[in-house]
Amino acid sequence: MTFAVAPVQAVTAATPGLPTAPVADPTSGDRFASVLSGVDGLQQLQSTSNDLAVKAVTGDLDDVHDYTIAAAKASTALELTAAVRNKAVEAFTEIMRMQA
């Protein structure tokens, strides 16, 4: 019995609700700005989660599921950002260890 494995295709659609940074031209120098816009999206997710948490505690929130979803999105985005940061620091450290 043989199994055929389909080729891996690139993901083209962003996950709904998660912030996406615009793709910058690598030669234009706008890469750092696009990274910062991703951080702004993370801050927005965390702010929304905090606002909904306050509303849930005060009883002003009609549907607690909204807070649960917002908190999960903020947590996932923060974990992803931290993982990317850790990989970047690891790559930078490895580059610094190289001898010229």
pLDDT tens track for 41-66? 899 999 999 999 999 999 999 999 99
C-beta of residue 77 within 8 angstroms of C-beta of residue 45: yes
Q: What is the pLDDT of residues 13-41, one digit of tens each?
A: 454 555 555 555 656 667 767 766 778 88
pTM: 0.61
Query: Is residue 35 in some structural domain?
Result: yes
DSSP state of 59: T
Segments forming the whole domain that contains residue 85: 31-97
* Residue for token pair 């850790």: 86
In a domain, residue 78? The reply is yes
* Contacts with 82 (C-beta within 8 Å, 6 or more apart), sequence order: none
For residue 66, is it within any domain? yes
Number of domains in the chain: 1
Q: What is the band of 7 on the pLDDT scale with cuts at 50, 70, 90?
A: low
- Within-domain flag for 89: yes
**Would residue 80 count as lying in a domain?**
yes
Q: Is residue 24 part of a domain?
A: no
Q: Which two tokens stand for residue 70?
A: 């917002």
What band does 11 get if pLDDT is binned at 50, 70 and 90? very low
